[in-house]
Structure 1
Amino acid sequence: MPVEWQPVRQSRTHELVLQSIEQRVFAGELRAGDRLPPERELAPVLGVSRSALREALRVLETIGVLVAQPGRGPDAGARIVRNPDDALGRLLRLHFALGSYSLHDVLEARVVLERSSFEAAARHASKEDLDKAEALVVRMGEPDVEVVEFNDLDTRFHVHIARSSGNELTSTLTSAVRESVRPLILRALEEAEDWPAAAAALNAEHTELLRLVRAGKGAKAADLVEQHIRSLHGTLVDESAERL
């Protein structure tokens, strides 16, 4: 019987380095906080050039699992970390900008994630968590808060509630989805005809959301956060549809 040959997969060198590091993470040989050997030691062990190694390390840094500190000393070199929020947010923001996901897709994802996180926060959030959320709400309600700062505080409030829900993955996904539309939400806020009135209305909903979470009324908080998201984010979806 003749041998049936299959094409072999060609990989660039830095991809092979990535596979090697990934395998050690999956096997539990590398954990968050561990340092990789210096480039001058690791490159020859792996049998690759230092430029290929650096390319692989840059990829890992971009996806939020490694941080590289240049220079010499005990803090220099590459260290394995757990920092998925910024990396996933950056990735999702780029894909959203490229049209991989529609505004409607992002809206529905936000609704599902935040309903879940507010309902869970009503059961699991600590007093300290909710006090931090309240500080954000208080600042959003001050008369001197400008649009850019309000948008930042708004994002932090929703992400903080997600973190206090006790589910780290929900928190990361909520942060990434909210970050993906941050520029659009900022633009919508900047275009408000009466900014003080718009800010007051939005923050009245934040205040009520926090009250419901403190009272343990998760179902009502979930309903209100859906209404809250659809009132602004849904307007962006409607505007986008009108332009098509």
Structure 2
Amino acid sequence: MRTHELVLGWIEKQLSDGHLVLGGRLPAERALAEQLEVSRTSVREAIRILEAMGLVRAGVGSGKDAGTVVIAEPAAALGSAFRLHVATQHLPVADIVETRVLLESWAVSRAKAEAPELAEAARLLDEMEVHPAVDDFMALDIAFHLALAEAAGNAVVSTIMGSLREAIEGYAAALTANLPDWDRTADRLRSEHRAILAAVNDGDGGRAAKLVADHIEGYYREAGLGQRPAESAAEIPAEATP
């Protein structure tokens, strides 16, 4: 079990036991990380999943809007979201890759340069530069991609990407065993991440879409995934994109 899943389990139990209710606040990141003896990155990942599900809202800064607040009735939110979340664990990896290319290419082509999620994406890239272990790198990687998807401001795309999160991270991590030189691959992924974010910040949606499609397909191809050819979203006419 990855550490962010431990955080998710704790939060789910607090919700199911009634210790967290509508309008209630989760402990601060640092406090929760210390209580559960996990990293703050793991806490952030768990909160991001719940936020994508529409169960919580994570605020920043100070004052009444700060902190992570429960914004939906736990039973209803967890019921519908987790059904989709669990179902994604059994989807073919090639289909996951094609879906990622379609959704993420569309999202980065429409990401707003002023979106706060881009600052979060930059912070995640900085964390990747310290050469974390493979599992931590993968957690940061998917968090980066989710931040880019959220920067488009489309709640449906963000929710679908959040639901696919576990499947994406699980498949990607498993495929690292097929890579001949992980350190070399990690360096390349870091460089590609920087280029994608730079294109988004420059307002070059077309270039960002092509870069993210090449980035996703390139990783799985290097890891030996025999996926069927797919037309990338970057090559689909604008009127045909979702």
For the aligned pair, the TM-score class normalised by the smaller chain equals: 0.5 to 0.7
Q: Alpha carbons of 1:211 and 1:240: their partners in 2 closer, same or farther (altered >3 Å)?
A: closer
Structure 2 residue corresponding to 1:133, chosen from 109, 121, 129? 121
Structure 2 gap ranges (5+)? 1-20, 25-52, 57-71, 229-242
AA aligned to 2:173 is L
Instruction: For residue 189 of structure 2, give the secondary structure of its aligned residue in structure 1.
Output: helix
Structure 2 residue corresponding to 1:95, chosen from 87, 91, 103? 87
Separation in 2, partners of 1:199, 1:66: 33
The answer as to 2:98 corresponding to 1:108 is: yes
Separation in 1, partners of 2:202, 2:55: 40
Corresponding residue of 2:157: 170
Q: Alpha carbons of 1:166 and 1:196: their partners in 2 closer, same or farther (altered >3 Å)?
A: same
Separation in 2, partners of 1:96, 1:195: 26
Q: Alpha carbons of 1:220 and 1:177: their partners in 2 closer, same or farther (altered >3 Å)?
A: same
Corresponding residue of 2:234: none
C-alpha deviations, 1:189-230, integer Å up to 9, x for none? Answer: 244332221110011100000000010000110011111111
1:139-218 correspondence runs (5 A) = 139-143=127-131, 145-218=132-205
AA aligned to 1:219 is G
| Structure 2 contact 108–149 (Cα < 8 Å) conserved | yes
RMSD of aligned residue pairs (Cα, Å): 3.6
TM (normalized to structure 1)? 0.58
Structure 1 residue corresponding to 2:212, chosen from 225, 241, 244? 225
Shift of 1:163: 1.1
Shift of 1:178: 3.5
C-alpha deviations, 1:93-120, integer Å up to 9, x for none? Answer: 543444xx32222221111100111111
Total equivalences in the alignment: 167
Separation in 2, partners of 1:177, 1:225: 17
| Structure 1 contact 119–221 (Cα < 8 Å) conserved | yes
AA aligned to 1:181 is I
| Structure 2 contact 22–73 (Cα < 8 Å) conserved | yes
Separation in 2, partners of 1:142, 1:96: 31
Q: Alpha carbons of 1:94 and 1:131: their partners in 2 closer, same or farther (altered >3 Å)?
A: closer
Q: Alpha carbons of 1:187 and 1:166: their partners in 2 closer, same or farther (altered >3 Å)?
A: same
TM (normalized to structure 2)? 0.58
| Structure 2 contact 128–190 (Cα < 8 Å) conserved | yes
AA aligned to 1:192 is L
Separation in 1, partners of 2:75, 2:110: 23
Shift of 1:92: 4.5
Instruction: For residue 115 of structure 1, give the secondary structure of its aligned residue in structure 2.
Output: helix
Identity over aligned pairs, percent: 27
AA aligned to 1:224 is L
Structure 1 gap ranges (5+)? 1-31, 36-63, 68-78
Corresponding residue of 1:80: 73
1:225-244 correspondence runs (5 A) = 225-234=212-221, 238-239=225-226
Instruction: For residue 187 of structure 1, give the secondary structure of its aligned residue in structure 2.
Output: helix
Shift of 1:176: 1.9
**Bigger Rg, structure 1 or 2:** 1
